[in-house]
A and B are shown apart, each in its own frame.
Chain A
Amino acid sequence: MFPEQASNFAGSVDTLFSFILLTTLFFAVLVTMLVIFAAFKYRRKHAGEVGDDVHGNNLLEIGWTVIPLLLAILIFAWGSAVYVNYRIAPKDTLDIFVIGKQWMWKLQQPNGRKEINELHIPLNRNVRLIMGSEDVIHNFYVPAFRVKMDVVPGRYNTMWFRPTKIGKYHFFCSQYCGTNHAVMGGWVTVMDPAEYAAWLSGESGDVNPVSAGERLFSQLACNTCHIANGTGRAPSLNGVYGAKVLLADGTLVTADEAYVRESILQPKAKIVAGYQPVMPTFQGLVTEEQILNLTAYIKSLQSQPVPAKGAGIAPAAAGKK
């Protein structure tokens, strides 16, 4: 009944599914048998007949309230456990950028290799998809992996999985997105890690996203304010990615993909402590792909030396680094 199981989630989703199926089948068969039995046994024998005089039974009512309730809570708890695992990605993921647009998927490997409607990934490696949309809401769904996640314009959604079986699997757009929604899909290819490495380094004219991002960083004149040694009008971005940033209102935020994206598109949303809100918005000036390249570049600055003054990151966090 189930399609092929090809990810770490497939087994646990199917086991839960089977448990719910058995539980519900039990009740469906029970009630159906009772109804058929009663319909036969208590069929009307002659025209004027009436039924027994029964009002109800409180013990029965309590029974058929409490038992379904307990079963419901069990299924709820089990389902939540599977879900939490699907929402919280492990640390050591292979990050792949995914952009959905009417009606195609653009995917990019960490080294910059781009694919359209195809995704190659190595076996048994935790993979995280960082997904954005250029237009409407899409959804990335791999039935063999038993997971899906909406791809929403204006924000990043992430989804992770670990492919456990070599092969080629359908992926679909499963959020209706207009005319050619039905053909907005492709194939995920799970490869042996050595083959994947060979495939990844194979011929591809694609520019590494870090260098593409670095070029954009100067083209868009980001580097005139975000000076590496901390002397600019804006904080140095060295070491910022993944660290805690202290904001002007005293709160701390983690600088992840979503923070970087927001800071580019809505710079006034979160102001770093000690700086003026002077940065203009880049909404409409950069594409989703360019934002991903800028993010990749900023991510690459993670290991650069953090200046003593003029850094974007919170002092405590900086000290620990």
Chain B
Amino acid sequence: MPAKHYLNATYGIRSWLLTTDHKRIALLYLASVTFFFFIGGFFAMMIRLHLLTPNGYLLTPDQYNRMFTMHGVAMIFFFLIPSIPAVLGNFFIPLMVGAKDLAFPKINLLSWYIYVVGGLFTMWSMINGGLDTGWTFYTPLSTVYSNSAVAPAVVGVFITGFSSILTGLNFLVTVHTMRAPGMTWFRLPLFVWAHYATSIVMILGTPVIAITLALAGMERLFGLGFFNPAMGGDPILFQHLFWFYSHPAVYIMILPAMGVISELIPTFARKRLFGYTFVAAASLAIAVIGFLVWAHHMFVTGQSTYAAVAFSFLTFLVAVPSAIKTFNWTATLFGGSISFDTPMLYAFGFLGLFLVGGLTGLFLGSLGTDINIHDTYFVVAHFHYIMVGGAVMGYLGGLHFWWPKMTGRMYPEWLARIAAFTLFIGFNFTFFPQFLLGIMGMPRRYHVYPPEFQIYNVMSTAGASILAIGYLLPMIYLTWAAFYGEVAGDNPWPATGLEWKTQSPPLTENFETTPVVTWEAYDFRNRPDLGLEVPGGHGPKIVAPAHGDD
């Protein structure tokens, strides 16, 4: 281990709570999102245990409704949205572009405090009455009829949104202004491109959910009739506003995971990413078109037929960039030198699960099939394949990949491989049966169900138990490895990014001298410093930027 690094630079609780080091802030986020992940996971286990029997003896209807609502709120707003950007993005974007920190280090710390305050309000709601509106807060149920603690939860989610906006702003400015000499736009790792696209969505989308929740909060607290039809309001207006953010929010969750996969596959195939510019452009296309598809959540609300047709068309358009990425990842494998280290297992897992999640989206985007499977378990299975199979697999893959850089120590490889397999099997066991339930017509958010649906619910609950073990294992051995793991060295894989050109764990200021970039992303063949065997020797060193935009 290097003598001096960001973890031992200063000591004491103040040195953490008042830090402006993006790496320490990333670890603060890591601790907080993990906390919410296990809270959300606990609620999920309660849901699955309750649904073992058709009549559900474990929870009362009100308790069950609180469980699935709080599961959604904790997982979406307090785990999935911040997870990859605020932990891995925060830690690695400055390192990847060759900067000492993010553009606004104090704002970065502020964004974590805002997140914590929002989290506390939401926890208050969970402990003090709970929340039973569904994470979607549909009106007038949430604003007039619910007997749960809606107001503090709405305030909490409202507040947390600002942390997301500040993080996005910080990333955009950093990528624009703080790239090291020679780090041109088209030499950036695709992880950075994915976060650039994500930041655009965060900055443009989050203010809309903020104002929507503010209106809903005012209706709830002061009886102003924005959405309540009894006072002349329009409940469907709420859904338009809500999904205008919450659909793009799906891309806040999945784009960063795609960015992680775009790092893992070239690294463990030791080969440039196939079609770099197409993958980068696909991220931006998803961010832009993703803003134009929100009303596909509302095909059966009675919205105009013309609107439904238009939104269905745009939904099919946004599917294409995801297909492009998948094909490019697959093509990268051909001619590579593929190893099966744990991060790559997560990348394979991501490919399989994202494929299922993405393709089942076509059934829901198509109007003729959506009228049947809308609001059934088919939807639940679909978005869990995207958000858990995609986003969480990407997050865990990234954590394993960068853990040696973040802590300076390796995780136990074989245990980690077993955990990755456990997760993959447990995940499919949990969620695949839910597709079948949806096709058979079981609506979502049911605390009791007709007995013909039981067998698939039992399978799902059994799978969830395996899945729970799969999540506990990495938490335990990664924590252990941070203190007692084998010393990793600067670049154990080896990988090509700038973050691997500094020591592990990095210095507080990241680099001793500002690095100068003379290579393209994922170019293993022109990097003698990686110590690999290149047939015919290393190629000519590229000196001039390939794209002269600097």
Chain A residues within 8 Å of B, Cβ to Cβ: 1-3, 9, 12-13, 16-17, 20-21, 23-24, 27-28, 31-32, 34-35, 38-39, 42-45, 48-57, 60-61, 64-65, 68-69, 72-73, 75-76, 78-84, 86-88, 102, 135-137, 139, 141, 143-144, 146-150, 152-155, 157, 170, 172-183, 266, 283-284
Contact = CB atoms under 8 A, between A and B. Distances in A.
B312 interface: yes
B368 A12 contact: yes
Contacts of A20: 362-363, 366, 369
Contact of B141 (A2, A31, A53, A136): A136
A180 B445 CA distance: 10
A41 to B, nearest CB: 8
A63 B328 CA distance: 12
Most chain A CB within 10 A, of B234, B236, B320, B367, is at: B367
Interface string B355-383: 11001101101111111101110000000
Contacts of B277: 56
15 contacts: A3-B441, A20-B369, A28-B355, A50-B271, A50-B533, A56-B277, A60-B331, A75-B316, A79-B368, A79-B369, A80-B312, A83-B308, A152-B301, A170-B450, A179-B132
Contacts of A83: 299, 305, 308-309, 312, 367-368, 370-371
A46 to B, nearest CB: 8
B366 A148 contact: no
Contact of B316 (A52, A65, A72, A141): A72
Contacts of A38: 330, 333-334, 336, 338
B337 interface: yes
B400 interface: no
Given A31-B355, A137-B235, 8 more contacts: A13-B371, A16-B368, A38-B338, A48-B532, A50-B525, A51-B270, A174-B443, A182-B449
B140 to A, nearest CB: 6
B12 interface: no
Contacts of B375: 139, 141, 148, 174-175
Most chain A CB within 10 A, of B140, B336, B531, is at: B336
Contact of A39 (B141, B305, B333, B439): B333
Contact of B300 (A48, A73, A139, A182): A139
Given A1-B439, A44-B337, A152-B236, A176 B351 contact: no
Most chain A CB within 10 A, of B144, B233, B305, is at: B305
Most chain A CB within 10 A, of B65, B233, B316, B339, is at: B316
Contact of B62 (A28, A80, A82, A179): A179
A155 B533 contact: no
B515 interface: no
B316 A155 contact: no
A240 B379 CA distance: 43
Interface of B is mostly: helix
Contacts of A65: 320, 323-324
Contacts of A150: 300-302
Contacts of A144: 441
Given A61-B278, A154-B235, A80 B367 contact: yes
B255 to A, nearest CB: 19
Interface in B204-250: 229-230, 232-236
B534 interface: yes
Nearest to B339: A44
Contact of B436 (A1, A43, A72): A1
Contacts of B291: none
A152 B302 contact: yes
Contacts of A35: 330, 333, 348, 351-352
Contacts of A153: 140, 229-230, 235
Interface residues of B, number: 94
Interface of B: 61-62, 65, 132, 134, 138, 140-141, 144-146, 229-230, 232-236, 269-272, 274-278, 299-302, 305, 308-309, 312-313, 316-317, 319-320, 323-324, 326-328, 330-331, 333-340, 348, 351-352, 355-356, 359-360, 362-363, 365-372, 374-376, 436, 439-441, 443-450, 524-525, 531-534, 539
B145 A102 contact: yes
Contacts of A72: 316-317, 319-320, 362
Contacts of A9: 371
B61 A182 contact: yes
Contact of A176 (B141, B316, B330, B335): B141
B533 A49 contact: yes
A13 B369 CA distance: 6
Contact of B324 (A24, A61, A183): A61
Nearest to A48: B533
A64 B327 contact: yes
Nearest to B314: A76
Contacts of B449: 182
A3 B372 CA distance: 11
Nearest to A180: B61
Contacts of A181: 65, 445-447
A295 to B, nearest CB: 17
Contacts of B355: 27-28, 31-32
A76 B352 CA distance: 24
Contact of A49 (B235, B308, B337): B337
B397 to A, nearest CB: 15
A55 B309 CA distance: 38
A2 B539 CA distance: 59
B333 A42 contact: yes
A42 B439 contact: no
A28 B313 CA distance: 22
Nearest to A85: B368
A50 B524 contact: yes
B398 to A, nearest CB: 19
Contacts of A266: 232
A149 B370 CA distance: 11
Contacts of B132: 178-179
Nearest to B301: A150
Contact of B369 (A17, A42, A52, A152): A17
B113 to A, nearest CB: 33
Contacts of B525: 50, 53
A172 to B, nearest CB: 5
Most chain B CB within 10 A, of A53, A69, A76, is at: A76
A3 B450 CA distance: 14
